[in-house]
Amino acid sequence: MRVLVVTPPETAAGLDRRMAWIRRRFGDAGIVVAASADAAADAAIVVLIRGDDGVCAPPPAGFDGRLYVQEQDGRLALQNRPFDGDEVASIDAHVFSRMAPADTAGYYHFPYGYLARYPGMGPIDSFGFRASVDWAPLRARQDSHKLVVVSGGSAVWSQCCLADEAFPAVLEGMLNDWATAERAGVTFSVVNLGLFGNLVLHQSINYMLFAERLRPDYVIAHDGFNDLIFALMSDPWLLAEHSIAYQPEFEGWARLLHKAPGDALTHQELPYGVLNLPHVAVRAYGERKAQFRRLVEGTGARFIWGLQPCIFSKGALSPEEQSVVGERHAVYGHAHRKIEFVFEEYLVRGVVPTDVPFVNCHSAFKAFGADQHLFADHVHMTPQGDRHIASLYFDVIRRGAATHA
Amino acid sequence: MNILGLAFGFHDASAALLRDGAIICAAAEERFTRRKHDAALPARAIAFCLAEGGLTPSDLDAVVLHEHASVKFDRVVHAALRQDPPAAAYVERTVAAWIAQGKFDPAGRVAAMLRIPADRIHAVEHHAAHAASAFFASPFHQATVVTMDGVGEYEAITVSAGREGRLEKLDAVEVPHSLGLFYSAFTAFLGFEVNEGEYKVMGMAAFGQPRFANRIRPLLRLDSDGRLMVDERYFEFLTPEDTPFTPALVDLLGPPRVPESDVIHGHYADVAASVQLVVEEAIFHVVEHAVRRTGIDDVCLAGGVALNSLANGKLQSRLRGRLYVQPAAGDGGASLGAALYHAHVVCGVPRLPETGATALLGKAYDAIDVEDALRRGSVPRVHRFGSEDDLLTAVAQHLADGAIVGLCRGRFEWGPRALGARSILANPALPDMQRIVNEKIKFREPFRPFAPAVLDHRANEYFDTPAPYGLHSPEYFMLSVATVKASHRHDIPAVTHVDGTARVQLVNRATNPAFHRLLELFEAITGVPILLNTSFNLRGEPVVASPWDALWTFGWSGLDVLVIGDVLVDKSELR
């Protein structure tokens, strides 16, 4: 199979990393790199690399193979056909995946919560999880095979990192390297149970649906941003009386399911107002997380209470990070201006129990300065950022999850 | 006779209600809509006034607007067409905006909204409204009345003689020769928002030296007849497209300050100090000539320039007579002036001596409103007290312990100053308190100063304030800056500005009893009869009005304690 990779007219940063991903994705043998798509005739796959200026070479005329554009973060975005099993493993495995829109990335319906599909950054399964292998055999693993489940939203999925750069994957490598070096007699697998937009309530459901039967040894709940920002915008009565926060834009699912005119609401439908006081948001998040902890510990796993970092967590922003600060206000503008305050409220209100390992990535990132480019956007990490996060969790697990970070 | 005064259409819309010459109530629309400087037809402020007065619209004998819209439009068009070449595009945009905002027929809009006959709706000249707001709310039987603002219809400065129920205009200076626009141009030059950041320029001035005064002074020529002229080469007031200053000002003073930049010392602070000095000289020039012209020593001031408390403090020391400044001296106060003008000048209603002795003219909220807010905010625990004194004792103790307290009790204030009804209070003796309140409570620039509220009979121990002539003295409304006595500066560092001054608020037992009692209780614990007092709002937001507004601001700030009505909420218990 011949794969033609077309370099952009101008420069493209991180080309080595991006080419490595292309080679992993399509195999090394048939790759040809060219400056134009003229030679595409006998290629089965063409990849147009997008340059730093946002421009890629024009697509080949009349090409009917698989055409991808590789985005600046490395994502291989399929251009000219619906997703299939090459993009989403077992895409036909269940009715909701089969029936989901296959021509765009995004969310799709599931009876318990919702699923998300974001192909092009590495293997995903029919639920949208970053799964390169079948998890089922993990059920029957030996005691010396330790399983870590990482639960959260898109920051856990790590939407700006390739599969092996996402912090759960990095954490798995760190743990196994350590176990080998220490001759600990154990091996580790880390399952990335992050899914776009998940709140802790979704994490609890996904844990019950997919993870509990795997009998994990550790469960990391790496979250904060979604629960707190969406709580600000959620129905005040639901939040105050029942600690129910939700993604406001997903109210659009009702329209979608009932085939009402118009698509699901999107991020572009702005602005969402801030409807709730911070202590109510903090309280709801704390209650739901404590509930998740009880659920996890009830199944015999050790719970690690994480707090994710956001761009405001850093001591100083790099030039690249500075350039994206303004963008965060475009989405959920009102709430974004408030969320830093809510994070601080969360930390001073005594919500986090003292008898659980607490990995406070938010505060830990205060130590990082302008010399490190850790955030790809307001809440998603660069590979370097995810390595730092992996290190923080690695330290806790290595210490037997016995002390606070 | 019920008279409703209204101001709206440009910024700071408001409504005020008079009954037989007595001020029943007055409020800015922004307090209700929560939109800072809301300019819209003040429907909610009107509704409040009618409810407070127990009236329906048909009970109103007159509704009086604060300006003649058609004359104002005439000025805009004439100014644009006099440009060379004529600023046709500016006129076109202005016409479109006026049509879209219904500015051509404000009386018709009011008549339609209130469903009253059009002949009950009147208008007064903008500066007449300002002048009336000052003179008829003052305790003076006669006074020299000076108004200075950006611009009304054509006028930017007026001088009048007020005698009992009459106001005789003696002189006027028309735009572009405007002290208000002059100061605002420098507000923009210094990177602050016009009509919002003028206080910041005042605060910044203390950090600088007026070394540019000699460069700026020629831009504002003071004529021997008490008038002044702005050098139009440096400013664009008539048809401003972008900034109200021209490249000539940049050539003179260098590039403007970048908004939100940290630079407050050095060059830009020197510019602020210089423009403050030059404007003070101009104010003294205008007022002192006016006094000579009328032969009346007592002075009333209104218009936005009259909110320059730094200048007011110095002016007081130069005057032979007394000074009265309308607490809502800006355009927001013109509704009250419009109503007062109609009552006294047009209808001959006799003046009442107590008018203007309090600024607590806004809405009071009851216990039901407080309970609704607590329920809506899902507040888990509150503290209730057997008496007001018990409540104030608890508040005083919190303050003495270093807590920052939001206070929302009684009728809210008329004008931009918080005088103890919608105030954030703190212990002024704590050196770090200014920084904490600026950064963690109000989220604003660290250099901004805070005012001291002091028991009126103790003020002279701490401040070089002139002895108040009565309850109308500017110090009761936080409208005048005084020097903190050197011997006490270290006692109240949080309210002593970098230049050793403070915008003092005197608190009187008769007009502000609860706040006065709180100060007494605080003094009993700390020995200091003073509290740091700043408006209860977050940066860029209007001052709170309702218990819910107060709870919202409390939740979204670093405030430690909230008092709404007779209930105290402790942030540490908010979980």
DSSP percent split of chain B into helix, strand, coil, nearest 5: 40, 20, 40
B323 bridge partner residues:
B299
Residues of chain B with Cβ-Cβ distance to A338 below 8 Å are 556
Task: List the structure tokens of B82.
Answer: 């006099």
CB within 8 A of B105, min separation 6: which ones? B69
The end-to-end CA distance of chain B, in Å, is: 52
Are B575 and A338 a contacting pair at CB < 8 A?
A: no
Task: List the structure tokens of B12.
Answer: 């700071």
Q: Does B104 touch chain A (CB under 8 A)?
A: no
Q: Please report the pLDDT score of residue A268 as a whole number.
A: 43
Parallel/antiparallel/unpaired status of strands B2-7 and A218-223: unpaired
For residue A330, pLDDT over 90 is answered with no
Binning pLDDT at 50, 70 and 90, where does residue A169 land?
very high
Least confident range from A328-337, B162-171, B455-464: namely A328-337
Q: Does A240 touch chain B (CB under 8 A)?
A: yes
Question: Dihedral of CA A99/A102/A108/A112: which sign?
Answer: positive
Q: Does A295 touch chain B (CB under 8 A)?
A: no
Are B556 and A277 a contacting pair at CB < 8 A?
A: yes
Using CB atoms, pick whichever of A236, A278, A350 lies closest to residue B555: A278
Burial letters B363-394, b for 16+ CB under 10 A, else e: bebeeebbeebbebbbbeebeeeeeeeebbbb
Are A349 and B574 a contacting pair at CB < 8 A?
A: yes
- Which of the pair, A334 or B483, is modelled with greater confidence? B483
Q: Does A98 touch chain B (CB under 8 A)?
A: no
> Mind telling me how many Å the CA of B192 is from chain A's nearest CA?
20
Model-level ipTM above the cut of 0.90: no
A66 bridge partner residues:
A45
Using alpha carbons, list the distances in angstroms from residue A83 to A68, A120, A249, B164, B271: 12, 10, 24, 85, 63
For residue A271, pLDDT over 70 is answered with no
Q: Which residue has the tokens 């290595």?
A: A398
What are the pLDDT digits (tens) for B302-318? 999 999 999 999 999 99
Q: Does B57 touch chain A (CB under 8 A)?
A: no
Q: Does B552 touch chain A (CB under 8 A)?
A: yes
Residues of chain B with Cβ-Cβ distance to A236 below 8 Å are 376, 378
Residues of chain B with Cβ-Cβ distance to A350 below 8 Å are 575
The one-letter amino acid code at B416 reads P
The one-letter amino acid code at B473 reads S
> Mind telling me how many Å the CA of A279 is from chain B's nearest CA?
6
> Mind telling me how many Å the CA of B380 is from chain A's nearest CA?
10
Are A240 and B551 a contacting pair at CB < 8 A?
A: no
Q: Please report the pLDDT score of residue A327 as a whole number.
A: 58
Are B377 and A350 a contacting pair at CB < 8 A?
A: no
> Mind telling me how many Å the CA of A341 is from chain B's nearest CA?
8
In contact, B356 and B135? CB cutoff 8 Å: no
Q: With CA atoms as reference, report the closest residue to A175 among A402, A364, A399, A405.
A: A399
| Range 208-237 of A in CB contact (< 8 A) with B | 236
Binning pLDDT at 50, 70 and 90, where does residue B144 land?
very high
Kindly report the length of chain A: 405
In contact, A91 and A98? CB cutoff 8 Å: yes
Q: Please report the pLDDT score of residue A270 as a whole number.
A: 43
For residue A241, pLDDT over 50 is answered with yes
- Which of the pair, B315 or B259, is modelled with greater confidence? B315
For residue A263, pLDDT over 60 is answered with no
What are the pLDDT digits (tens) for B497-515? 989 999 999 999 999 999 9
For residue B231, pLDDT over 90 is answered with yes
CB within 8 A of B528, min separation 6: which ones? B427, B428, B429, B491, B492, B522
Residues of chain A with Cβ-Cβ distance to B374 below 8 Å are none
Q: CB atoms < 10 A from the CB of B49, how many?
A: 29
Q: With CA atoms as reference, report the closest residue to B108 among B119, B124, B96, B97.
A: B119
Q: With CA atoms as reference, report the closest residue to B267 among B250, B279, B254, B276.
A: B254
Task: List the structure tokens of A105.
Answer: 């990335």
Q: Does A283 touch chain B (CB under 8 A)?
A: yes
CB within 8 A of B244, min separation 6: which ones? B181, B184, B185, B188, B194, B235, B236, B237
Parallel/antiparallel/unpaired status of strands A358-360 and A302-307: parallel
For residue A264, pLDDT over 60 is answered with no
Q: With CA atoms as reference, report the closest residue to A186 among A398, A392, A404, A395.
A: A398
| Mean pLDDT across A290-319 | 96
Binning pLDDT at 50, 70 and 90, where does residue A333 land?
low
In contact, A224 and A282? CB cutoff 8 Å: no
In contact, B125 and B67? CB cutoff 8 Å: yes
B302 bridge partner residues:
B147
Q: Please report the pLDDT score of residue A273 as a whole number.
A: 75
Query: How many beta-carbon pairs below 8 A join chains A and B?
Result: 26
Are A280 and B377 a contacting pair at CB < 8 A?
A: yes
Are B552 and A277 a contacting pair at CB < 8 A?
A: yes
For residue B373, give the chain A residue with the closest CA. Answer: A277
What are the pLDDT digits (tens) for B469-483? 999 999 999 999 999
Binning pLDDT at 50, 70 and 90, where does residue B85 land?
confident
CB within 8 A of A226, min separation 6: which ones? A153, A197, A198, A199, A247
Least confident range from A62-76, A327-341, B486-500: namely A327-341
Using CB atoms, pick whichever of A236, A279, A351 lies closest to residue B555: A279
Q: Does A294 touch chain B (CB under 8 A)?
A: no
| Mean pLDDT across A53-67 | 92
Q: Please report the pLDDT score of residue A403 as a whole number.
A: 39
Task: List the structure tokens of B138.
Answer: 């003052």
| Mean pLDDT across B73-101 | 83
Using CB atoms, pick whichever of A236, A341, A350 lies closest to residue B575: A350
Using CB atoms, pick whichever of B376, B552, B575 lies closest to residue A283: B575
> Mind telling me how many Å the CA of B240 is from chain A's nearest CA?
28
> Mind telling me how many Å the CA of A372 is from chain B's nearest CA?
24
For residue A258, pLDDT over 80 is answered with no
Q: Please report the pLDDT score of residue A254 as a whole number.
A: 53
Q: Does B555 touch chain A (CB under 8 A)?
A: yes
Parallel/antiparallel/unpaired status of strands B530-535 and B451-455: antiparallel
Q: Does A350 touch chain B (CB under 8 A)?
A: yes
Burial, B50: exposed, middle or buried (Cβ in 10 Å; 0-12, 13-18, 19+)? buried
Q: Please report the pLDDT score of residue B79 as a whole number.
A: 80
Q: Please report the pLDDT score of residue A401 as a whole number.
A: 41
Q: Does B574 touch chain A (CB under 8 A)?
A: yes
Binning pLDDT at 50, 70 and 90, where does residue A33 land?
very high
Are A278 and B378 a contacting pair at CB < 8 A?
A: no
Q: Does A279 touch chain B (CB under 8 A)?
A: yes
Q: With CA atoms as reference, report the closest residue to B175 among B301, B113, B82.
A: B82
Q: Does A273 touch chain B (CB under 8 A)?
A: no
What are the pLDDT digits (tens) for B318-359? 999 999 999 999 999 999 999 999 999 999 999 998 888 899
Are B376 and A278 a contacting pair at CB < 8 A?
A: no
The 3-class secondary structure across chain A, one letter per residue, is CCEEEECCCCCCCCHHHHHHHHHHHHCCCCEEEECCHHHHCCCCEEEEECCCCCCCCCCCCCCCCEEEEECCCCCEEECCCCCCCCCCCCCCCCHHHHHCCCCCCEEEECCCCEEEECCCCCCCCCCCCECCCCCHHHHHCCCCEEEEEEEECHHHHCCCCCHHHCHHHHHHHHHHHHHHHCCCCCEEEEEEEECCCCCHHHHHHHHHHHHHHHCCCEEEEEECHHHHHHHHHCCHHHHHHHCCCCCHHHHHHHHHHCCCCCCCCCCCCCCCCCCCCHHHHHHHHHHHHHHHHHHHHHCCCEEEEEECCCHHHCCCCCHHHHHHHHHHCCCCHHHHHHHHHHHHHHHHCCCCCCCCCEEEHHHHHHHCCCCCCCECCCCCECHHHHHHHHHHHHHHHHCCCCCCC
Burial letters A256-265, b for 16+ CB under 10 A, else e: beeeeeeebb
Average pLDDT, chain B: 94
Residues of chain B with Cβ-Cβ distance to A273 below 8 Å are none
Residue from B556, B557, B571, B573 whose CB has the most chain A CBs within 10 Å, to mutate: B556
The one-letter amino acid code at A302 reads R
Q: Does B382 touch chain A (CB under 8 A)?
A: no
CB within 8 A of A4, min separation 6: which ones? A32, A34, A37, A39, A40, A43, A45, A46, A47
Q: Please report the pLDDT score of residue A405 as a whole number.
A: 33
Using CB atoms, pick whichever of A278, A350, A351 lies closest to residue B556: A278
Using CB atoms, pick whichever of A277, A282, A349 lies closest to residue B377: A277
The rounded radius of gyration (Å) of the Cα atoms in chain B is 23
Burial, B159: exposed, middle or buried (Cβ in 10 Å; 0-12, 13-18, 19+)? buried
Q: Does A351 touch chain B (CB under 8 A)?
A: yes
For residue A337, give the chain B residue with the closest CA. Answer: B556
What are the pLDDT digits (tens) for B402-411? 999 999 999 9
For residue A329, pLDDT over 70 is answered with no
Q: Please report the pLDDT score of residue A265 as a whole number.
A: 45
User: Rounded to an integer, what distance in angstroms lies between the CA atom of residue A395 and that of residue A197?
Assistant: 27
Catalytically active residues of B are: 11
Using CB atoms, pick whichever of A338, A349, A351 lies closest to residue B556: A338
For residue A340, give the chain B residue with the closest CA. Answer: B556
> Mind telling me how many Å the CA of B402 is from chain A's nearest CA?
18
Residues of chain B with Cβ-Cβ distance to A341 below 8 Å are 556
Q: Please report the pLDDT score of residue A250 as a whole number.
A: 64
> Mind telling me how many Å the CA of B445 is from chain A's nearest CA?
17
> Mind telling me how many Å the CA of A302 is from chain B's nearest CA?
26
A117 bridge partner residues:
A106
